[in-house]
Amino acid sequence: MRIFQLLEATSNRFILHPNLPPENYKMTNSLGQVDKWKAYIYTNNNGYDQEIGEFGDVGYVMISLSDNTIIPIARADEHHMGMELLHDLRKKYRITGEYYPIFPYSTYFNDERDKEKITIALTKYLQYRGNDGLMFVYTEGDKVVHYSPNQKMMHYSDFVKNPDMFKAFKKELAPIGQKFYDNVKLLSDLVIAIGQNPDRIQSKKAFDQAKVLLKYTISANRAFRVDSDKLSGYMNKLSEAIKENDVRSLEKMFFGFDGLKNVIHKEMKKIASDKNAWGFKDLQATWGDIDYAISLLAEL
């Protein structure tokens, strides 16, 4: 109940904490552009090759759990995720209230006691148009632990919808794998339908879905690990196929021998053949029940 009460009172707009000197921060109005932000370096407690008083790139952003204030943290000040600097800023600028640090590209959930805090912070972070990064959860069975070779992986948006989604997957896909499968299955259905009854409107739907699938694969490629040159090649081929309205080339690009679906599928089977292989745990985190995922993709 407390989570919903806090979120209902939250604006979709954030502000820098009003007690902080605004001249110490260079920000836009979107957390999705945090890679362009700069913050004053107060301590350099992270050992960067920069001086105190300079401006540094921003990584972690402190999200207030009770209002719409934020505190960007320079990479040079992010020791212990910026919590040490937050302690100093509290004393110097009389900052009160709870904050939780969110990194734009990935965050680790390794303490069950933080579940409510991280859920609130991530929900606000996404409302502020932050990047839908990857959440890593260390687990032993269904329990969250500080560190384990077993980890689950999901997008921030999936974690917010269901913070218990990390629990063991049996005959079930993990969130990232499920999104890939749903997108590639829809594209497959559209391509098959066009083959049975060619239609320009259906073709446009197929091209639009191909763009969605490719965009998603690129955004989550830390999980899929498709060669970056291959992804660039797919992007170029898709642009050409759209220009020529060539559905056959589209089908080949995604479902042919060297198509995106088969490239991912073959790598999955290779890693899954040895549970002690490097990358097996990451594969499990991405797909959940690996054998089930392999069988589903084989049907497409």
* Rounded average pLDDT over 13-27: 96
Which of the four pLDDT bands, split at 50, 70 and 90, describes residue 48?
Answer: confident
* Rounded average pLDDT over 45-74: 95
Which of the four pLDDT bands, split at 50, 70 and 90, describes residue 170?
Answer: low
- Would you say the C-alpha torsion 17, 20, 23, 25 has a positive or negative sign? negative
Give the length of the chain. 300
Residue 1's pLDDT is what? Answer: 36
Question: Cα separation of 81 and 149, whole Å?
Answer: 22
Q: Which two tokens stand for residue 13?
A: 């707009």
Whole-angstrom Cα Rg for the chain: 22
More confident residue, 83 or 153: 83
* Rounded average pLDDT over 204-219: 95
Q: 113, 94 in Cβ contact below 8 A?
A: no
Q: Which of 200, 183, 203, 111 is nearest to 148 (CA)?
A: 111
Question: Cα separation of 246 and 200, whole Å?
Answer: 11
Question: Cα separation of 264 and 4, whole Å?
Answer: 39
Question: Cα separation of 287 and 33, whole Å?
Answer: 29
**% of the chain beyond a pLDDT of 90:** 65
Q: Which residue has the tokens 């991912």?
A: 264
Average pLDDT across the chain, whole number = 89
Q: Which amino acid is at 221?
A: N
Question: Cα separation of 176 and 75, whole Å?
Answer: 28
Angle of helix 260-272 versus helix 290-298 axis, rounded to 10: 150
What are the angstrom distances between the C-alpha of 138 and each of 68, 112, 249?
29, 10, 41
pLDDT at 97 over 60: yes
Residue 138 forms beta bridges with which residues?
151
pLDDT at 32 over 90: yes
Instruction: For 105-148, write each residue's pLDDT tens digit.
Output: 998 888 888 999 999 999 999 999 999 999 888 777 777 877 77
Q: What is the DSSP letter of 22?
A: G
Question: Cα separation of 136 and 166, whole Å?
Answer: 9
> Can you spell out the DSSP letters for 132-166?
--EEEEEEETTEE-S--S-EEEEEHHHHHH-TTTT
- Would you say the C-alpha torsion 289, 291, 292, 298 has a positive or negative sign? positive
Instruction: For 261-293, write each residue's pLDDT tens digit.
Output: 999 999 999 998 887 777 888 888 899 888 899
Which of the four pLDDT bands, split at 50, 70 and 90, describes residue 8?
Answer: very low
Residue 182's pLDDT is what? Answer: 96
Residue 139's pLDDT is what? Answer: 76
Give the global pTM: 0.67
